Amino acid sequence: MIRYVSTGLPTVAAAVLMALPAVAQDSFLGQQEFVERCSVCHGAEGKGDGIVGELFAQKPKNLRVLASENSGVFPFAAVYESIDGQRDVAAHGGDSQMPVWGDYLIAEALERRNIDPKDAQLIVEARILALVQYIQSLQVN
């Protein structure tokens, strides 16, 4: 356990973190996952214009307008749940073209790395959180 006692370091670290642009702080993992797994349908910038998505009758959502469609508030929990697959949005049902990422990522974590299922769950939560934060950083007014 790290104990923050009597050194000036935590304050310095906090100041450095606050000085970083918000997007740079939360984006790298999320951006990487997004480009790898989501951009084929949602487009590199999340506009819903990915090459594969073009083929679907139901166009993938423009993920940059989620906040503006929700009175300017980014619907963090709802986005998390729709990626994880807990929330049954129309696009995620039996006839969905939007994969259920929670199950897929869990399976991948368990298969590729020899880790405990509980740790796999935590890894998946972190990855989904990173994705949601990245999508949040893409919001336009």
Q: Which residues bind ligand HEC (CB under 6 A)?
A: 37-38, 40-42, 52-53, 56, 58, 60-61, 63, 78-79, 82-83, 89, 91, 97-99, 101, 131
- Nearest approach, Cβ of residue 109 and ligand HEC (Å): 14
CB 132: neighbour CB atoms within 10 A?
24
Distance of closest approach, residue 60 Cβ to ligand HEC, in angstroms:
4
> By C-beta, is 18 or 36 nearer to ligand HEC?
36
CA distance 54 to 134: 22
Q: How far apart are CA 122 and CA 117, in angstroms?
A: 9
**Of 20, 38, 51, which is closest to residue 82 (Cα–Cα)?**
38
CB of 29 to ligand HEC, least distance (A): 12
